[in-house]
Amino acid sequence: MQKIKLTAKTQQDILNNLLERSPGSYGKYESVVADIIANVREKGDEAVFDYTTQFDKWNINADNVRVTRAEIEEAFASIDSEFIRVMQDSAANIIAFHEKQRRNSWIDTRTDGTILGQRILPIAASGIYVPGGKAAYPSSVLMNAIPAKVAGVKKIIMTTPAGPDGKVNPGTLAAAKIAGIDEIYKVGGAQAIAAMAFGTESIPKVDKITGPGNIFVALAKKACFGHVSIDSIAGPSEILVIADETANPRYVAADLLSQAEHDELASAILITTSETLADQVTAQIEGFLQTLPRANIIRKSLENYGYQLIADTMEDAVSAANAIASEHLEILTKDPYEVMTKIENAGAIFMGEYSSEPLGDYYAGPNHILPTNGTAKFFSPLSVDDFVKKTSLISYSRKALEEAHKDIELFAEREGLSAHANSIRVRFE
């Protein structure tokens, strides 16, 4: 990790460096993704199967593209009972948290006959993308599916790549069963996103696509937005820790590495008012790297996007954290709750030395699908709100409209829209 004095210039340099990881910076792949999407729109299953055979190296067809009930039960039975219990407990926590986000339709009536309101309904179908490849993430299955279930979405499908043997990771399938996913298809990559966005003979069209993926998946979601809703264009994972001299350097080091191990583009940043703590954290990191299996990935991540920023004051540290707007923000200070009140931009905030970031990844209940690359300034974690649509309700009586019609006509005329004004005026001729 680079140890740097926090100044306005160093802060801006770091922001510029972090933004290089954004999917918006990978324009050279956009034409490839556009070709895949166009091909899937035109040829449907044929294109999806061709790409799957080419990239995933197994003979997919209309008879085996969908995961069968027997395959799900076989996968579920193959997972040890203790892990099944943990996933079920995690799911219960996620359900409990997201049920508090549910909102009801409402109506406001007035004595003059005016009725205004908002109708809130779930979308009809949602699609979840779950990566395969080097690692499987059952936690992402739970985090994507459960908010949709709580919102009342009637049909939830999932796409995920299969291995060369045509089988899907058992942990992924077990999590899908626990989450209550309705249909699962053995398709990955940009072709899976296109299939869910436009529909094929085998894979149904959905209204919203959520879930993480590689750069091709991210760009496909970006390209299909508008034809279908998406959660976000997610960038690489990131963690920022605010710490003072009271923090345990071993805890800080372990938490920074928890995100750096994701991939070489992950970011891990420590902002501290104590240079002594920074040095102690460096020593602890070196110790951990002697034993962690993904040490090579971590080293590259820390070399490119790992920083220790030495701040003069906690106010400076908080200001920098708000500017960076990290996906995950830990506060390990003497009074973390007081510092928390000054944080304006973060995907999720973890307060205190026993609130390590993986608690949010797997178990606590809040969603781990969070805004990245500074988008916490204007985006929010995945929630029940992402799976509902809101419709405004308007009803005026003659009496209510009569009191307002001249004002409405004036507004319309000033905008040069005479037919708008006439639509109101004819009711009082």
Taking residue 13's Cβ as centre, other Cβ atoms within 10 Å add up to 13
Residue 403 falls in the annotated catalytic set: no
What is the Cα–Cα distance from 341 to 257, expressed in whole angstroms?
A: 26
Q: What is the C-alpha to C-alpha distance for residues 278 and 195, in angstroms, rounded to an integer?
A: 48
Token representation of residue 25: 């910076």
Q: What is the CA radius of gyration of the chain?
A: 25
C-alpha to C-alpha distance for 11 and 5, rounded to whole angstroms: 9
Between the alpha carbon of residue 94 and those of residues 90, 140, 150, 384, the distances in Å are 6, 12, 10, 11
Asked if 327 is an active-site residue, the reply is: yes
Structure tokens at 333: 């200070």
- By the 10 Å C-beta count (0-12 exposed, 13-18 middle, 19+ buried), 235 is classed as buried
| Sheet hosting strand 106-109, strand order edge to edge | 106-109, 115-122, 388-395
- Report the candidate in 355, 309, 311, 306 with the shortest Cα–Cα distance to residue 330: 355
Residue tagged active-site, from 71, 327, 330, 353: 327
Pick the catalytic residue: 71, 98, 238, 328? 328
The tokens describing 36, both together, are 């895949």
Length of the chain: 429
Catalytic positions, please?
327-328
